[in-house]
Amino acid sequence: MASLYLIPVPLGPVDPHNCLPPDTLAIACRLEYFVVERAKTARAHLKAMGHPQPIQSLQLSELNEHTPAASIPTLLAPLKAGHDLGLLSEAGCPAVADPGAALVLAAHREGIPVVPLIGPSSILLALMASGLGGQRFAFHGYLPAKEPERSQAIRSLEQTARRDRATQLFIETPYRSAALLEALAQTLAPATLISVGADISLPSQWIQTRSAKNWRGHTDASKDRLAVFGIGV
């Protein structure tokens, strides 16, 4: 039976051979059918991976936030025709903070084998490097961008971290990362720990964990960087 392969990609503009194992690259390079978040980006990833076929000859279907739910089962057509299918995200692991999860669920409903491949996950790499508790943690995607919703969400996550002794993780876009770090430093209790993992796995990687009090006045360090944040107590 054909399988759905979940293919990680680099977290930024680096050589895939430096962050993806040979087996992951080998599978990606033998597939002809893919579901991707954005075709242009996916073609660039596949070219960098060294796909042996002309990139324009590969069959790429897009799945993103604009894809109607009713059309997702049709993306399984290559699998039903006996062809292995690859799922690629824009960066990192597909189906994690990514619309590809809907395709994975559709594959399970059809009894299609799902095969996750090894590659970089910004969330797990940030957690590993944070020094915060990894025994229990939760990921929340993006926090609200505006006040007072953002501060309310921050306080709620702090309460959860304290009550459950569980690290709370979330992400932010580069143009809002410094503002979020400033809000965290000002909103959280002085002793609450904040970890910031920016540009993870890239040459510009920067990861630090400090108390909220010690972040105050230093929040520009995350400016214009794609970052993963963690809260711990």
For residue 29, the 8-state DSSP code is H
- Distance, in Å, from the CA atom of 108 to the CA atom of 200, rounded to the nearest integer, reads 31
Segment 117-132 shows an average pLDDT of: 97
Q: What is the pLDDT of residues 27-45, one digit of tens each?
A: 999 999 999 999 999 999 9
- Distance, in Å, from the CA atom of 123 to the CA atom of 139, rounded to the nearest integer, reads 8
Q: Give the domain ranges of the chain.
A: 4-116, 122-232
Segment 112-125 shows an average pLDDT of: 97
Segment 139-152 shows an average pLDDT of: 96
Element (H, E) at 156: helix 149-164
The model's confidence at residue 133, banded by pLDDT at 50, 70 and 90, is confident
CB atoms within 10 A of CB 3: 16
Take residue 141 and report the two structure tokens written for it. 């995607």
CATH architecture of the region 122-232: 2-Layer Sandwich (3.30)
pTM of the model: 0.92
pLDDT surpasses 90 at 221 = no
Q: CATH number of the domain at 4-116, please?
A: 3.40.1010.10
Segment 65-72 shows an average pLDDT of: 94
Q: Quote the pLDDT of residue 220.
A: 85
Segment 68-96 shows an average pLDDT of: 96
Q: Coil, strand or helix: which one is 80?
A: helix
